[in-house]
């Protein structure tokens, strides 16, 4: 998959044009939606590059090429969901008896897949605090094949030093995979730091409008291309052309949206941190974040749209605050243009063992904000009025 735009143009230009040339037959400026399951063949096995949509489709291929370009990779593979990307990757690369090291606070669905599904096939996962290189090093076994992690993590936005972890993995001849969903390719390109595989839930920032579910894998070198391509087709967790078309449309504005997400989130994080009703705020862009220096080094264009905040009091105050918000919608998921709020302890992380929740810092008063791209002053006013309604304290400034 060749990308003529990669070296020459900046992110936002690639997002709009990479692998999206005007349609050669009609001149359509926007990549057409090839909503077809099959393609005419001139003779048996003679066709224009596509024979059946599970194996390949021009709309899906445009999305795959553009994603590869934005992650500074060479090969992109689209899937029906982020979980479809993970299951395909796992079935493509591992055999019974293999062992994988996984971040201890990865997305709950990832945890569920490794513990409740993949384990049945004889592949064991150990969950490790990836911010502790010593713990990671001592968890490596002779049968360990890969280190899999997220950075920033969910919900507490811990960062992993990508270059340090790549060095450790290389020393032990292990593959590395980063789920880059929270950062998006606009803020962080792990492949340029030596990571082997990037995974996305394109449902989030990449699609960006909370109207389509999808996933992706991206590779930089050729060695894993054949095996991933083979399993993408064999397992069939491939996306529908319309879902790919919607995702591609969202992708065009990723840079613009991410700048707005980051700007709004930084402003709200600062305001929340100064509010008397707030116990603490976790946002990589704040100097109070324990890994702020690493965030500056690793997240090249901003600190993202996710904020974790502990309000004063307990679960009752946290839930009342959410109920008083008018613009922020109480919902799971993240990365859309609209602002969302959720209570990790009761929602996204409900199935996490109570002791693990305590260890990870998922307290009863913790809330997660996915800051959207509405007007920043309106979002601030919304938070102000909701905090004032719960605590009757001074306004956030």
Ligand X SMILES: Cc1ncc(COP(=O)(O)O)c(C=O)c1O
Yes or no: say if 379 and 314 are a contact pair by the CB < 8 Å rule.
no
The four Cα atoms 376, 382, 384, 386 give a dihedral, to 10 degrees, of: -150
Q: Tokens 């349609």 label which residue? A: 23
Of 9, 36, 39, 109, the one binding ligand X by CB under 6 A: 109
Instruction: Give the shortest CB-339-to-ligand X separation in angstroms.
Output: 17
Of 181, 184, 238, 370, the one binding ligand X by CB under 6 A: 181
Closest to 53 measured CA to CA, from 189, 224, 242, 246: 242
Closest to 77 measured CA to CA, from 233, 250, 212: 233
Catalytic residue among 107, 148, 186, 283: 107
Q: Which stretch binds ligand X (CB under 6 A): 26-34, 76-84, 373-381, 388-396?
A: 76-84
Q: Which stretch binds ligand X (CB under 6 A): 41-49, 179-187, 189-197, 311-319?
A: 179-187
Across-strand partners of 282? 308
Instruction: Give the shortest CB-376-to-ligand X separation in angstroms.
Output: 24
- Chain CA centroid to CA 293, Å: 21
- Chain CA centroid to CA 357, Å: 21
* Separation CA 346–CA 274 (nearest Å): 26
| Active site annotation includes 54 | yes
Q: Which stretch binds ligand X (CB under 6 A): 79-87, 165-173, 305-313, 373-381?
A: 79-87
Q: Does residue 105 touch ligand X according to CB under 6 A? A: no
Of 152, 190, 207, 215, the one binding ligand X by CB under 6 A: 215
Catalytic residue among 145, 204, 220, 319: 204
Q: Which stretch binds ligand X (CB under 6 A): 176-184, 261-269, 297-305, 306-314?
A: 176-184
x/- site string to ligand X, residues 122 to 161, per CB under 6 A? Answer: ----------------------------x---x-------
| Active site annotation includes 107 | yes
Q: Does residue 83 touch ligand X according to CB under 6 A? A: yes
State which residue, 175 or 396, has the beta carbon closest to ligand X: 175
Q: Which stretch binds ligand X (CB under 6 A): 80-88, 112-120, 169-177, 219-227?
A: 80-88
Q: Does residue 365 touch ligand X according to CB under 6 A? A: no
* Separation CA 194–CA 177 (nearest Å): 10
- Chain CA centroid to CA 149, Å: 11
Q: Which stretch binds ligand X (CB under 6 A): 177-185, 244-252, 292-300, 360-368?
A: 177-185
Yes or no: say if 261 and 301 are a contact pair by the CB < 8 Å rule.
no
Closest to 369 measured CA to CA, from 307, 297, 296: 307
Of 73, 76, 82, 208, the one binding ligand X by CB under 6 A: 82
- Chain CA centroid to CA 356, Å: 22
Of 20, 184, 189, 203, the one binding ligand X by CB under 6 A: 203
Residues contacting 316, CB < 8 A, separation 6+? none
Instruction: Give the shortest CB-67-to-ligand X separation in angstroms.
Output: 14
State which residue, 83 or 92, has the beta carbon closest to ligand X: 83
Yes or no: say if 210 and 75 are a contact pair by the CB < 8 Å rule.
no
State which residue, 50 or 111, has the beta carbon closest to ligand X: 111
Handedness of CA 220, 166, 154, 384 (dihedral sign): negative
Of 5, 50, 77, 107, the one binding ligand X by CB under 6 A: 107
Q: Quick check: bond before 203 cis, omega within 30? A: no
State which residue, 32 or 109, has the beta carbon closest to ligand X: 109
| Active site annotation includes 249 | no
Residues contacting 161, CB < 8 A, separation 6+? 131, 133, 294, 298
State which residue, 201 or 232, has the beta carbon closest to ligand X: 201
- CA angle, residues 320, 324, 397, in degrees to nearest 5: 105
* Separation CA 15–CA 34 (nearest Å): 20
Give the chain's count of helices (H) and strands (E). 14, 12
Catalytic residue among 23, 54, 312, 364: 54
Catalytic residue among 98, 104, 161, 179: 179
State which residue, 175 or 237, has the beta carbon closest to ligand X: 237
Number of residues assigned to the chain: 397
Positions that interact with ligand X (CB under 6 A): 81-83, 107, 109, 150, 154, 179, 181-182, 201, 203, 213, 215
Catalytically active residues are 54, 107, 179, 204
């Amino acid at each position: 998959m060749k990308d003529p735009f990669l070296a020459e143009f900046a992110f936002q230009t690639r997002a709009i044009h990479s692998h999206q040339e005007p349609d050669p037959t009609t001149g359509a400026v926007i990549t057409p939606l090839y909503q077809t399951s099959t393609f005419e063949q001139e003779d048996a096995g003679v066709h224009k590059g596509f024979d059946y949509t599970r194996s390949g489709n021009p709309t899906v291929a445009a999305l795959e090429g553009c994603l590869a370009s934005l992650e500074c990779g060479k090969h992109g593979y689209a899937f029906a969901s982020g979980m479809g990307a993970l299951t395909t990757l796992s079935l493509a690369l591992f055999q019974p008896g293999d062992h994988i090291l996984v971040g201890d606070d990865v997305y709950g669905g990832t945890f569920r897949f490794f513990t409740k599904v993949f384990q049945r096939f004889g592949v064991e996962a150990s969950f490790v605090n990836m911010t502790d290189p010593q713990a990671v090093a001592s968890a490596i076994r002779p049968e360990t094949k890969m280190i899999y992690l997220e950075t920033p993590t969910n919900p507490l936005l811990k960062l992993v030093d990508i270059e340090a972890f790549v060095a450790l993995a290389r020393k032990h001849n292990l593959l590395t995979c980063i789920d880059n969903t929270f950062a998006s390719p606009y803020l962080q390109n792990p492949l340029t730091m030596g990571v082997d595989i990037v995974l996305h839930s394109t449902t989030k920032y990449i699609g960006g409008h909370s109207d389509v579910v999808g996933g992706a894998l991206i590779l930089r070198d050729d060695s894993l291309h054949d095996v991933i391509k083979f399993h993408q087709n064999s397992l069939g967790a491939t996306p529908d052309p319309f879902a790919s078309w919607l995702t591609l449309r969202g992708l065009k504005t990723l840079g613009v949206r991410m700048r707005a997400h980051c700007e709004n989130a930084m402003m709200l994080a600062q305001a929340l941190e100064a509010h008397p009703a707030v116990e603490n705020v976790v946002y990589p862009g704040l100097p109070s974040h324990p890994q702020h220096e690493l965030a500056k080094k690793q997240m090249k264009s901003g600190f993202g749209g996710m904020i974790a905040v502990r309000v004063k009091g307990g679960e009752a105050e946290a839930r009342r605050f959410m109920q008083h918000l008018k613009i922020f919608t109480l919902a799971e998921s993240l990365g859309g243009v609209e602002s969302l709020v959720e209570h990790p302890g009761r929602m996204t992380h409900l199935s996490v063992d109570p002791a693990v929740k305590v260890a990870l810092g998922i307290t009863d008063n913790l809330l997660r904000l996915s800051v959207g791209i509405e007007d920043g002053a309106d979002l601030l006013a919304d938070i102000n009025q909701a905090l004032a309604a719960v605590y009757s304290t001074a306004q956030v400034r």
